[in-house]
Amino acid sequence: MATLRDVKKRIKTVESTERITKAMEMVAASKLRRAQQRVEETRPYSKKMDEMLSHLATGSTGDIVHPYFEERDVKKQTVVVFTSDRGLCGSFNANVIRKINGWMKKNSDVETEIVTVGKKASDLLKKHQNPLVGNFSDWGGSLEMGKARELVSFLSERFVAGETDRIILFFTRFLSTVRYKLVDELYLPIAKPDVSNNETKVNSYYIFEPTPEIIYSALMPSYVTTKMVTALVESFASEHGSRMMAMGNATKNAGEMRQTLTLEYNKARQGQITKELLEVISGAEALVG
């Protein structure tokens, strides 16, 4: 049986762990709130951008001539894996890595290179047989526009230069505080907007200033940046959400453990008192006898 001191020591350890996990849960919760707000703020912009692109495609005659739309035979492809920089967020990173590994096994006939976002992905995929061509870490769990642009230009330059024929993003979409969904989204080439079945077809007498080509070349960089920003903020929000849940569970477990340990401690203490009493009584009896 554990001695009183040992149990007391363990109670202390569990208590301090509980305090730490509790604090981490609160930090994650406040970061989640901010990230969630960010997700909601970016949605209208990206929705309007989609609409504008679709109207542009419907309204302008002739083919879309922008390199981002160019569909080639896929000989080489790039996967972008979104994970967190830091751990202690439950199965958040493990899920992403599992999905990407499964996907790559299925698509092993095409030469695939990896670009990672977040430290965890580069740590976990470093030893992968597929080459790691880029790594964008140290976000600190929030969006940094300059860095996002760097990532966008890195990817789009690779695509335009023909070093890759297809770029796919693997990230966690934020549905609610307790619901996330792992998605794979084609990033480049951009799927041509569906022109055939569009209610604005009737309105195809748009005026373009100066020309559709120039508008495309101005719109497309913004479009791909917006898409990337969306993926990033969704992933960050999911990360904070997962961490909040993981830390919440840890706090709960620590609390339970503390209770069992306290019970054990009290039992041991009671046992010791009984033992001492017995000793005193038997000592007294010996004197009398």
Partner 1 sequence: MFSLSVVTPEKVHYELEAKSLIVPGSEGYLGVLAHHAPLITVLKPGRLEFVDSDDKMHLLSVSVGFLEVSDNKATILADAVEEADSIDIDRAQKAYDRAQDRVTKAFEKGTDISLERARKSLQRALNRINIYKEIN
- β-pairing verdict for 132-136 and 166-176: unpaired
Among 88, 132, 133, 215, binds partner 1 (CB under 8 A): 215
Q: Which residues in the 226-265 window bind partner 1 by CB under 8 A?
A: 226, 229
Structure tokens at 273: 């008192």
Bond prior to 67 in cis (omega within 30° of 0): no
Among 29, 52, 132, 182, binds partner 1 (CB under 8 A): 52
The yes or no reply on residue 54 touching partner 1 (CB under 8 A) is no
Alpha-carbon distance 198 to 204, whole Å?
Answer: 10
The yes or no reply on residue 200 touching partner 1 (CB under 8 A) is yes
Cα 209 to the center of its chain, rounded Å? 40
Alpha-carbon distance 47 to 173, whole Å?
Answer: 16
The yes or no reply on residue 195 touching partner 1 (CB under 8 A) is no
The yes or no reply on residue 146 touching partner 1 (CB under 8 A) is no
The yes or no reply on residue 214 touching partner 1 (CB under 8 A) is yes
Binding pattern for the stretch 82-121 against partner 1, x by CB under 8 A and - elsewhere:
----------------------------------------
| Residues acting as catalytic residues | 89
The yes or no reply on residue 205 touching partner 1 (CB under 8 A) is yes
Alpha-carbon distance 289 to 280, whole Å?
Answer: 14
The yes or no reply on residue 44 touching partner 1 (CB under 8 A) is yes
Q: Which is nearer to partner 1, 44 or 131 (CB)?
A: 44
The SS3 of residue 179 is strand
Among 91, 222, 249, 259, binds partner 1 (CB under 8 A): 222
Structure tokens at 156: 């789009």
| 32 neighbors 177 (Cβ within 8 angstroms) | yes
Closest approach of Cβ 222 to partner 1, in Å?
7
Among 101, 186, 208, 271, binds partner 1 (CB under 8 A): 208
Q: Which is nearer to partner 1, 52 or 257 (CB)?
A: 52
Q: Which residues contact 100 (CB under 8 A, 6 or more apart)?
A: 79, 81, 114, 125, 170
Closest approach of Cβ 208 to partner 1, in Å?
6
Structure tokens at 232: 């990033």
Q: Which is nearer to partner 1, 68 or 92 (CB)?
A: 68
Question: What b/e readout covers 98-113, taking b as 16+ CB neighbours within 10 angstroms?
Answer: ebbeeebeeeeeeebb
Binding residues for partner 1, rule: CB under 8 A, are 41-42, 44-45, 48-49, 51-52, 55-56, 59, 200, 203, 205-210, 214-215, 218-219, 222, 226, 229
